[in-house]
Structure 1
Amino acid sequence: MASELSSIEPLLPLLGRSPLGLFSDIDGTLSPIVPDPDKAAISSRSRELLTQLIGLGVRVALITGRSLEKAIEMGPLRGAAYAANHGLTLHVEGRTEAADDLRSYAAKARRVLQQVHAVSASGVRIEDKGPVLAFHYRTAENQRAARQTILDAISRSRAGASFAVHEGRKVIELRPRTAVDKGTAARVLAGRLGVQSLICMGDDATDVDMFRAAAALLEEGIPAASIAVRNEEASEELFAVADYWLPGVPGVEWFLGELVRSLSGR
């Protein structure tokens, strides 16, 4: 069970091994949760501190369910790596690569859109992320009814049968049926970036896979720790597998500041 992180001291052994990897979710971790997902952005303080950490040699990677374009738009960080669409798309050292069958899933997703577009009349906003579709109902007047409308529309869609249904915070996603997730993305990035120690941060149920990957790397000899970010919608499952927790985006900003101070010797 996670304990509150009130000092950088427990993580100092990780900071002594270079390069340190810092892998983080975006929404609810670096970016406050807002009613309109399109208006979410990494906080200016987090972005400033992450930029400093990159300058200090930390391998920063943003691992998110957002599309690559949206993830970069939310917080463009020169020198950072990105794993978008829950790891389906990787952007490392200026190069972008995607899972082999992603193009076929993007075509299938377009067919799903044609079959379920009517759900938008229920106050649902559809986010087209290429091979992934997200149905946001946070701003719907009747969230329970909107959620059921989405699920019913998906069940009636022939093309929708090709996808796995995942539920998040006031959102339902259709994702390709693949073994790729935030955990597999974290392992790939850890290898590509050559990290010798790793800190992972997140607040969503999908971050459980990333935290489990960190635990597996620890067993394989790479010092690692995971930090859950607490907010009103954080996944309780996350706190069962995390090592530490921080209070919301402000807590993350504090932690990033402590990392900068420790690594720069201030």
Structure 2
Amino acid sequence: MTEIETGNSAENLPYALERIEEIFDKSGSRRPVLFLDYDGTLTPIVSDPDEAILSDKARNVVSKLSKQITVAVISGRDRKDIQSKINLDSLIYAGSHGFDISGPDGMEMQYEPGRKTLPALDEAEKRLNEKLQDVEGAWVERKKFAIAVHYRNVADKKVEVVKNAVLEELEVYRELKKGSGKKILELKPDIDWDKGKALNWLMEELKLDANEYIPIFIGDDITDEDALQAVKDKGIGIMVGSHDQKTAATYRLKNTEEAIEFLDRLQKRLLK
């Protein structure tokens, strides 16, 4: 990620809520297209991902926005999981970093090359569960097109055991590559595909021309940097909180509450 590494630290970015008129002015006559991460963006990071429940306020704001503009959630979660968490039929859901996509009116899209890696994912999932069954707090989460190995609740002295188990599997299954996030390691298809490419692909598939539409991406994690890079020169990227690498974002928000506040202001602005 050479381009991303030359970016800014999130703490040095201008504050989105203070520059909201500037952000709106950048849109000009172009219609916003909103791309959102879920964990750490719409909901706070929690120790048990199943407990990352969308607040009523957040759901209400996102629902209103989705009736005004195109809204897509691009998440590392399995598509069915993120769809059930948000439970709004008017959104586009891109799960597994964009390998598996569905949307309104029965829209179903999949990035087909990912299918070839399913047998390797099946085997790696089985082996990781066996290797980590005695590591308290470790959780091997299978998604359709990825495996997330969580170590947030693992004792510090056992974290290396988890990391080494993932690295060993990556040596066995060369069709898989490593992904990383906040207290997560992933095994995912070793294909040139990420949240940024999924974002661009959706813009093309939905015929959202850059001369008429401006993409806005809001995310919080290292896995969101590809999408932030994708919108850097043609749209608006906003980082929620921070991570330990440079970011391609242009603006920042402190936390998920401020992310919802920003979306609320965007929704009201679109009514004008």
Q: TM-score, normalised by structure 1?
A: 0.87
| Residue 59 (structure 2) pairs with residue 47 (structure 1) | yes
Matches within 5 A, 1:117-128: 117-118=129-130, 119-123=132-136, 124-128=138-142
Q: Give the Cα separation in 1 of the matches to 2:47 and 2:166.
A: 23
| Residue 199 (structure 2) pairs with residue 186 (structure 1) | yes
Q: Match of 1:209?
A: 226
Instruction: Choose from 182, 186, 198 the match for 1:173.
Output: 186
Q: Is the 8 A contact 1:182 1:206 kept in 2?
A: yes
Q: Match of 2:114?
A: 102
Instruction: Choose from 236, 243, 247 the match for 1:235.
Output: 243
Structure 1 residues 144 and 96, CA, compared in 2 at 3 Å: closer, same or farther? farther
Q: Which runs of 4+ in 1 moved over 6 A?
A: none
| Residue 43 (structure 2) pairs with residue 31 (structure 1) | yes
Instruction: Choose from 224, 247, 251 the match for 2:254.
Output: 247
Shift of 1:114: 2.3
Q: Is the 8 A contact 1:32 1:43 kept in 2?
A: no
Q: TM-score, normalised by structure 2?
A: 0.86
What 5-or-longer segments of structure 2 have no aligned partner?
1-7
Q: Give the Cα separation in 2 of the matches to 1:42 and 1:34.
A: 12
Q: Give the Cα separation in 2 of the matches to 1:264 and 1:144.
A: 53
Q: Give the Cα separation in 2 of the matches to 1:45 and 1:133.
A: 31
Aligned partner letter, 1:38 = D
Q: Is the 8 A contact 1:208 1:237 kept in 2?
A: no
Shift of 1:43: 2.5
Q: Deviations over 1:209-263 (max 9, x none)?
A: 10111024x1xxxxx1111001xxx32435x421111110110111011112211
Structure 1 residues 144 and 208, CA, compared in 2 at 3 Å: closer, same or farther? farther
Q: Give the Cα separation in 2 of the matches to 1:101 and 1:242.
A: 29
Instruction: Choose from 56, 62, 71 the match for 1:60.
Output: 71
Q: Is the 8 A contact 1:14 1:198 kept in 2?
A: no
Structure 1 residues 14 and 59, CA, compared in 2 at 3 Å: closer, same or farther? farther
Instruction: Choose from 153, 168, 177 the match for 1:139.
Output: 153
Q: Match of 1:263?
A: 270
When structure 1 is superposed on structure 2, of 126-135 and 174-183 the one drifting more is 126-135
Q: Match of 2:174?
A: 161
Number of residue-to-residue matches in the alignment: 252
Q: Is the 8 A contact 2:32 2:214 kept in 1?
A: yes
Shift of 1:18: 4.7
What 5-or-longer segments of structure 1 have no aligned partner?
219-223
Give secondary structure in 1 for the equivalent of 2:232.
helix
Structure 1 residues 253 and 155, CA, compared in 2 at 3 Å: closer, same or farther? closer
Aligned partner letter, 1:251 = E
Aligned partner letter, 2:81 = K
Using the aligned pairs only, state the percent identity.
27
Q: Match of 2:4?
A: none
Aligned partner letter, 1:26 = Y
Give secondary structure in 2 for the equivalent of 1:101.
helix
